[in-house]
């Protein structure tokens, strides 16, 4: 057991740990509002709050580089791409009565089981792990970049291709719907229709 583990226990949390739990609760609330909203634009804006909360969690874990990558890529790019996709496909801005498919309880059961499995796996994997505060910085740009471009470069590039495909798909869908409407508007009226 390291000095960091012996100095304090779970019964004497520090201010950072209290802030971590409070931000985590707020992030969880924003995530629940994201999936529970009946308005697509409101869901996208709650997603901004949830992803911003995750960035704050990274800051509290002293991983500043990952926190700013979270803000720039996810909050800045992914949500903007989502909002552009909503605007380009002419999705309804107001409440959508057809947003609920009737499978709410099945989805809630699957989500609860997935969350329980994820919490169990993470808690089991990191049960006896403590951060060595006297060692090298784990959240530095050098350590994170080394890990990202050595072990995670393929998923990183796959995500960029997926986002590009989503944007191209939104543009194609908006052009297909707008092309037929534009052709109908520019067609001159037939003889006898003007009267």
Chain center to CA of 67: 13
Our CA angle for 149, 152, 154, nearest 5°, is: 95
> Does pLDDT of 1 surpass 50?
no
pTM for the structure as a whole: 0.60
Q: What is the pLDDT of residue 189?
A: 55
**Tens-digit pLDDT profile for residues 127-140:** 877 766 666 666 67
Q: Check if the beta carbon of residue 39 is closer than 8 Å to that of residue 98.
A: no
**Tens-digit pLDDT profile for residues 10-62:** 567 788 889 999 999 999 999 989 888 878 888 888 999 999 999 999 999 88
SS3 90: coil
* Mean pLDDT within 79-95: 73
Q: Check if the beta carbon of residue 88 is closer than 8 Å to that of residue 170.
A: yes
- Alpha carbons 147 and 145: distance in angstroms, whole number: 5
**Tens-digit pLDDT profile for residues 92-112:** 666 666 666 777 788 889 988
- Alpha carbons 86 and 112: distance in angstroms, whole number: 28
């Amino acid at each position: 057991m390291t000095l960091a583990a012996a100095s304090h226990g779970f019964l004497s949390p520090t201010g950072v740990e209290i802030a971590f739990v409070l931000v985590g609760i707020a992030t969880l609330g924003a995530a629940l509002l994201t999936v529970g909203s009946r308005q697509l634009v409101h869901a996208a804006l709650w997603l901004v709050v949830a992803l911003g909360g995750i960035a704050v969690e990274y800051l509290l874990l002293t991983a500043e580089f990952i926190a700013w990558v979270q803000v720039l890529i996810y909050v800045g790019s992914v949500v903007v791409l989502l909002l552009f996709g909503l605007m380009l496909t002419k999705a309804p801005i107001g409440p959508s009565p057809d947003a609920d498919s009737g499978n709410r309880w099945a989805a809630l059961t699957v989500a609860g089981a997935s969350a329980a499995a994820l919490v169990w796996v993470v808690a089991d994997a990191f049960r006896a792990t403590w951060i060595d505060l006297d060692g090298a910085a784990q959240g530095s740009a050098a350590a994170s970049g080394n890990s990202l471009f050595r072990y995670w470069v393929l998923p990183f590039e796959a995500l960029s291709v997926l986002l590009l495909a989503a944007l191209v798909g939104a543009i194609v869908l908006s052009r297909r719907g707008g092309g037929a409407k534009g052709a109908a508007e520019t067609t001159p009226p037939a003889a006898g229709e003007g009267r």
